[in-house]
Structure 1
């Protein structure tokens, strides 16, 4: 099973039938590829060679030379033989056909980006439609990092067009803020559906600093202009980096208790407690904040230690949870730095945990031994 998609087990009869079909395809593929490469080296750019790339890519969309050749042909034929918009929209349909079959093929996604870029040069790219397309594809597999990467590409172009169309700097920032809020809430919905979504967590880490900057700019602009602020869905979260941190830590806590083996949650936690945006804010926490940075770290340490005890109870051999131990070591390291870097008791605890990790996580044994030596 890959990302929740079950593999199909074929019967022996079905395997033989598939093998015969594959043999016929291989013969056709070799013949077409030989012809394509011959035409490519001769710099032949015609409708016939364009159709030839279509045939070859139908058999093997991983052949990036065919995609490169196809782009060269299109650039040669537009606008003399082909109408740009019609030709590129046809290629977008071709790409969609391939994406349904091969949603993790780099070259297919790359060609779609190229087509949209070409259309954008003349203002003909429909970015809102592309956002809807990639949203639909991510519904099929919400952890497809190609889809998430493409989504960021689409959103960045929507931001560019929005900024160009804005009547004033204030309206530009407000438009960009609305778009960023939509993306932030999109990551929330994906994480709520599947906590083990590394791409959604990663996208969130890229969005939050940008979103906070836009939010503070819009608030400041409203205040300076005597305008009434338009309420947003993030007002209670984005008042300060401290408030963002506390909100996100609650989301992480839910994630770690739901699946203590999930890498993405722990990676996001490490980002939260070490990124300067949050660290500097927590260090300068005033009386109206509930906790200082050190207290936040200690609170996380307590939560993860308790979770580790629960994981040990559930483990058939009573082993510690690997990610709990790694995160405890990380937090203790941060606390050591905050407290001056000298605490023999903490250093002994860290060394003991690393020795435990050597035993229960042998694949990373060398890394832990290096940490012990350091």
Structure 2
């Protein structure tokens, strides 16, 4: 059994029959491919060729050349069939793409075609971004760590923002309020996904994009709505409060799964991004760095005690080095102290795949932060 799928042992006769069936399918696929390439090169754009691209894309949704040809066919058909039928074809393609995405949720070309269909519909004033938001939410329920889905969600949300602003009063305050409400929901969405599964790099990445925007939107509104006052007062009132809130969010994750890179990478962003650093006093920043260093060193010690050879934990030690370099920069101290060099030497042993990088850092030829 692999990935929960029971292995099936076929008899020799069953294998022979399967090979025969596969040979027929392969021959048909090659024949159809050759035909469509010839039609494409001859610039044939008809309903018949459009239907044939459907056949081959159902067999192989990762055939990006055929997605391109399909779009060319639709574009050339539009003057002939008229906008109403063009909209019908685009909506049918959205249904086709959704069916295929359920089977191939991480194929770039399928997501690209869906975006293209939607922007064509938007040009005609026939797009429904709210419906599309529901679609991508459903797809992320199926696979909450699918970065294609998260990237697509950002595209959809951006278009919902634009549509909402276009249909609102023309005041800066109302625009900021619209953007604030939309992005708070997205922020809460990332919170729910992270709490459900801390190992969700895409949710953390989306959160890092939302936080600076939300911080500005809260500043721009003249009056914070009652339903958002608590969030503003406890989290977004200032950068220090926000940073402490986020550090507390990931603290549990560090102990729950010390090998998960999502938490460690998000911690690095929190401690080094100019959005936070430039808004903190030097004393406060140094205090936060020391506190986080203490937490990571404690966790590293626990991991060493559990390891049979008492080795440092790789992610812990990398983060210790990272924080110590930030502290050195903040206090104008030696970045390549003997202590940091010692840690880097240890990393060459416990993380041999990146040995060359650590040697370059020790020599001073490569930056540590």
For the aligned pair, the TM-score class normalised by the smaller chain equals: over 0.9
CA distance in 1, matches of 2:176, 2:19: 58
2:181 corresponding residue in structure 1 = 178
Cα deviation, 1:222-270, whole Å, max 9, x if unaligned, reads: 2xxxxx7433152221001111100000012111111111111111111
Alignment of 1:94-243 (within 5 A): 94-167=96-169, 168-218=171-221, 221-222=222-223, 229-232=225-228, 234-235=231-232, 236-243=234-241
- Aligned CA-pair RMSD: 1.9
Quote the residue 2:320 is aligned against.
328
CA distance in 1, matches of 2:238, 2:17: 63
User: Partner residue of 2:355?
Assistant: 365
Q: 1:174 to 1:18 in 2, by over 3 A?
A: farther
Shift of 1:19: 4.2
The question of whether the paired residues in 2 share the 8 Å contact of 1:25 and 1:59 is answered with: no
Distance 1:341 1:55 in 2: 65
2:303 is matched with 311
Offset, 1:80: 2.3
1:93-140 deviations in Å (ceiling 9; x for gaps): 110111011111110000000001101112211111111111111111
Residue of structure 1 aligned with 2:259, choices 247, 258, 261: 261
Written as runs of structure 1 = structure 2, the 5 A alignment for 1:52-91 is 52-81=52-81, 83-91=85-93
* Pair 1:51 & 2:43 matched: no
d(CA) in 2 for partners of 1:60 and 1:15? 23
Q: What is the TM-score when the length of structure 1 is the normalising length?
A: 0.91
Secondary structure of the 2:280 match is helix
Closer, same or farther: CA 17–295 of 1 in aligned 2, 3 Å: farther
Using the TM superposition, give the Cα deviation of residue 173 of structure 1 relative to its aligned residue in structure 2, in angstroms: 1.2
Please give the secondary structure, in 1, of the residue aligned with 2:322.
helix
CA distance in structure 1 between the aligned counterparts of 2:17 and 2:239, rounded to whole angstroms: 60
Contact (CA 8 Å) 1:181, 1:234: kept in 2 or not?
no
Against the structure 1 CA distance between its residues 58 and 254, is the aligned structure 2 distance closer, same or farther, given a 3 Å change threshold? same
Q: CA deviation at 1:177?
A: 0.6
Q: Distance in 1 between matches of 2:197 and 2:24?
A: 41
Q: Per-residue deviation at 1:10? A: 3.1
Residues in 1 aligned to 2:181 and 2:44: alpha-carbon distance in whole angstroms: 48
Q: How many residues align?
A: 357
Give TM-score scaled by structure 2 length: 0.92
2:37 aligns with 37
State how far apart, in whole Å, the 2-side matches of 1:253 and 1:215 are: 26
In the TM superposition, what is the alpha-carbon distance from 1:310 to its structure 2 partner?
1.0
